């Protein structure tokens, strides 16, 4: 199974999964041969990519640890803002990620549609927990992290929709309203005594930068709550790698280079290092270009060095980039 951007989809490709619209209705079933008509339909429904089956990717299996059912339950719990359900989903996500083989969470983080805040929150939570596991956190800390990461942008509910969904650059005054969302979020949660204090701290501090240039308080270094720093980097990663109303999805290389630029400015250096060690940055089954000019598929990630996955060439050769001079260039 491999992922193809909508622009690269061709007639006769075979779908690997049901393709659904944003209301969860099946548009095209798994195993269908894509015709010109069906491809037009995908464009019409705003689908930005699909998983297909072919011989090149026949031995690549993508089985998200957080499967469709749990992902849907979590998104619904967030939409309803049902705390009991959010805590249950957080426990389940942590439990599954802690007990999956080699922590390879094959998350289908490549969104099929435009931005959905709750799906973004779920992706941030999954990556934050994965990073937290790498950092050696215990179950309870991971659960706190998951809940905080799921709710990190809850304050955006109080930012006017026309600002949130605006195409193009925000004005200074619009930006200052957006920058109030951590405080808005903190205030929403402060009303509920059942909210963990760690959740409030994550929500309040997830835009603070290591060098003190963040907001709302301009906290610096270890003044920033560690779980907020973990959430911060995972939030930025998901925003970069995904399509947004104001930008296309960035390539892996561009995403990695922007995150690396945040060393010593935006992120705690040891958390940044752990991010590249433990969070699957290259999504399994995506096509990449390597330094000898060949195209390859991401075959398997290497826990400990996520920048150097095992890749599969068109002739089926597998190359572990940890022991090769080849590099991914795009
Ligand atoms: Fe935010």
| Predicted local confidence at residue 7, as pLDDT | 84
Please tell me the CATH code under which domain 68-278 is placed: 1.10.3210.10
Q: Tell me: the pLDDT tens digits for 94-146?
A: 999 999 865 455 555 444 444 567 888 999 999 999 999 999 999 999 999 99
CA of 182 to the centre of ligand 1 (A): 7
CA of 309 to the centre of ligand 1 (A): 30
| Predicted local confidence at residue 103, as pLDDT | 47
- Six token digits for residue 179: 């920058």
CA of 203 to the centre of ligand 1 (A): 8
| Predicted local confidence at residue 102, as pLDDT | 54
Strands (E), the chain: 2-5, 14-15, 19-20, 26-28, 49-53, 287-289, 295-300, 310-313, 318-320
Q: Tell me: the pLDDT tens digits for 9-31?
A: 999 999 998 888 777 788 899 99
CA of 106 to the centre of ligand 1 (A): 25
| Predicted local confidence at residue 128, as pLDDT | 97
Residues of the chain with CATH 3.90.105.10: 2-53
| Predicted local confidence at residue 104, as pLDDT | 53
Neighbours of 212 (CB within 10 A): 14
CA of 135 to the centre of ligand 1 (A): 23
Nearest Cα neighbor of 262 from 249, 271, 253 is 271
Q: Tell me: the pLDDT tens digits for 62-81?
A: 888 888 889 889 999 999 99
CA of 117 to the centre of ligand 1 (A): 10
CA of 81 to the centre of ligand 1 (A): 17
CA of 235 to the centre of ligand 1 (A): 7
Which homologous superfamily does the CATH classification assign to the domain defined by 2-53?
Answer: Molybdopterin biosynthesis moea protein, domain 2 (3.90.105.10)
CA of 160 to the centre of ligand 1 (A): 15
- Six token digits for residue 130: 């994965």
Do residues 298 and 110 touch, judged by C-beta distance below 8 A?
no
CA of 233 to the centre of ligand 1 (A): 11
């Amino acid at each position: 199974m491999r992922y193809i951007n909508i622009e690269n989809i061709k007639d006769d490709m075979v779908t690997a999964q049901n393709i659904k619209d944003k209301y969860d209705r099946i548009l095209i079933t798994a195993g269908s041969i894509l015709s010109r008509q069906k491809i037009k339909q995908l464009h019409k429904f705003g689908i930005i990519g699909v998983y297909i089956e072919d011989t090149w990717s026949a031995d690549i299996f993508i089985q998200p640890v957080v499967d469709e059912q749990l992902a849907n339950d979590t998104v619904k719990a967030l939409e309803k803002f049902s705390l009991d359900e959010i805590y249950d989903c957080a426990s389940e996500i942590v439990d599954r990620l802690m007990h999956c083989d080699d922590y390879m969470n094959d998350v289908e983080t490549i969104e099929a549609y435009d931005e959905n805040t709750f799906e973004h929150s779920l992706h941030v939570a999954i990556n934050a927990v994965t990073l937290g596991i790498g950092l050696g956190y215990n179950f309870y800390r991971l659960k706190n992290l998951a809940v905080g990461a799921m709710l990190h942008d809850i304050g955006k509910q109080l930012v006017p929709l026309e600002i949130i969904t605006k195409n193009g650059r925000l004005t200074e005054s619009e930006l200052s309203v957006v920058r109030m969302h951590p405080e808005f979020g903190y205030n929403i949660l402060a009303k509920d005594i059942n909210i963990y204090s760690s959740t409030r701290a994550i929500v309040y501090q997830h835009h603070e930068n290591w060098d003190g240039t963040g907001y709302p308080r301009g906290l610096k270094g270890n003044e920033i709550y560690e779980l907020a720093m973990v959430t911060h980097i995972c939030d930025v990663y998901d925003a970069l790698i995904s399509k947004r109303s104001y930008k296309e999805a960035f390539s892996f290389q561009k995403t990695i280079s922007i995150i690396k630029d945040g060393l010593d400015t935006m992120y705690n250096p040891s958390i940044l290092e752990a991010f590249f060690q433990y969070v699957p940055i290259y999504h399994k089954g995506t096509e990449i270009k390597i330094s000898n000019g060949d195209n390859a598929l991401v075959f398997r990630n290497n826990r400990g060095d996520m920048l150097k996955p095992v890749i599969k060439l068109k002739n089926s050769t597998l190359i572990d980039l940890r022991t090769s001079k080849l590099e991914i260039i795009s």
